[in-house]
Every structure is written in C-alpha cells, then in structure tokens.
Amino acid sequence: MTPEKLKQLIVETMDEVYKMSGKDKYQLKKRGFTDRDDAWLRRQVGLQYDKEVQRDITNLRQYNKTNNSNPQGKEMIKAFQNASGVTIAHGLGYISYAESELGGQGDANRKSLKKWLDNYGNLSKNQLSTVAWIGTPEDLPSQFTSYGNHEAITGGTGLLLKGYPVLVSHSSVSSQTLSSLPKELIDHQTHSGIAKRGSFEQPIYSLDQMKYSNFRPGWAAEVLLDNWTVIGCFVTEELMIEAQKNNTLSSLIDDVDATGLPCQVFSRSGWAGEL
C-alpha cells in the first residue's frame, strides 16, 4: 500500500460517523450515561452524541495533519510503522474498563495467542489500542507498573506489532472497546474498518516528547494503531510461574510455539528474556 493510499484510508476511517438509533439512546439512558461528564463512558461503549463524534474527528484530523506535516511527526510515524526505535504491545490479558465496569462481554479468543491470530490476525483495518515505549522490547521501563495501562503487559500475554499511529498519548484516551460496541456500529464500519477515537488530554507529537517527558518518560499509555502487522508475541514471567504451579506450562508454551512468532518474556520489573 502506498503512503498516499494509506493516508486516504486513515482519513476515511476517521470520518466514519454512526448515527445512534432510538434503541441506542434508550440504552444510554438506561445505563445512566447521559450526563455531560459521561462523554468518556459514551465513547468507550461506542454510543456518542453527534457533536462528540465530530469533535473527536476534528481533533484526530488535526493531530494527523500536524504529524504528517513536520519532520518530528513524520519521524514518529515512521518509527511506529517500522517498529524501529519504539516497541508496540497489545495485551490479550488486559481487561478494559468497558468490560470490567460497563457490562462489556469480553472475548474468549484472547485466552489464546493462536486463536486470536486465527480470528483477528487479518483484520488490520480495525484499529487496536496498544501501549508503547521507546526502544526495543529489552527497554521496557523497569517502573512501568506505575504507568497508565500497564495491565496490557502484566495481564499475561499479548502481541508485538507495527503500524500507523493514529493517536499517541501519554495517558489513556478512553477509546472504544471493540468487544463492547453495539452490533449495529460494527456492521456500519465493516467496510472501512472499526475506528477508535480518543480524548486529547496528553497527545504526543514526537519521539523526543515521548522519551524526555517528565510524565512517564519513554511510555505511551495508549496508542491507537491502524494498518497493523503482528511481528511478535510476549508472555509474562509471572504467568509462566503460575502455569507451572497449575501444570499448564506446556500448554502455554505450545500456544506460543503455534504462533510461529518470536516471543519475549516480560516481568513486573521489566524485560526478562526470550522464550
């Protein structure tokens, strides 16, 4: 895919607008998500008012226009697209707020690396929420467990990727949780891919800003990744110890081997090695 075609695809996905039905509005009222301060909750479950959607679209378009029009932004985009100088991880064991608190259904496929790849590995037009850090997998910050969305790693298993960074943020952006979206919204975005949008409280515009920030240096608590490719996987040392106690370690290793991917081992204190 040419850079020009990719930019066009990203813009088209950003501009997707889903009009809530009467049923959707009833669900919002029933769940108590109608107050002004509930905008982040409405975004997570994919049921936003028109003005909220348009505001998110405007912010994303401006963010991407800025990053594509200056050397620092282009450098960051290239780094994420090549996974060069930055590591991007999508946690399968991570339970989002929408799933744990807002009644989301979760996804049984996340219990297995191989099953997830078989079901979703070719759906790169659907944007993913990821975390990222400066450097290689070995450079996972030793203090990352005090950072936002660290559960993407400590959840146990996950994937390493490369792709287009639609939004890079120091903090969580309360983006849509795919397993918690209404079927009508998913159907509406089948052709273009399911878009994720987020808040703009702490956006990152360059690798230097990400690396030298006084707030969680070297860490992006949420990156909305599009046009992604899986390049590796990971398991945690803690999960392996637990699996050994439960006599399921061989099954865990078999699951990793079945992916055919290089596998990193992380722990709560940072990188622990390769499997």
pLDDT in tens, 212-223: 998 889 999 999
Residue 18 has pLDDT above 80, yes or no: no
Going from N- to C-terminal start, the domains of the chain cover 3-274
Ramachandran angles phi, psi of 146, nearest 5° = -95, 5
pLDDT digits (tens, 9 = 90+) for 142-173: 999 999 889 899 989 999 999 999 999 998 87
Q: What per-residue confidence (pLDDT) applies to 271? A: 97
Give the residue carrying structure tokens 């979760």: 106
Q: Please choose, from the candidates 32, 34, 27, 31, the residue with its C-alpha nearest in 3D space to the C-alpha of residue 49.
A: 34
Q: Give pLDDT tens digits for 238-260.
A: 999 999 999 999 999 999 999 99
Do residues 46 and 180 lie in contact, with contact meaning Cβ atoms separated by under 8 Å? yes
- The rounded distance, in Å, linking the Cα atoms of 48 and 61 is 18
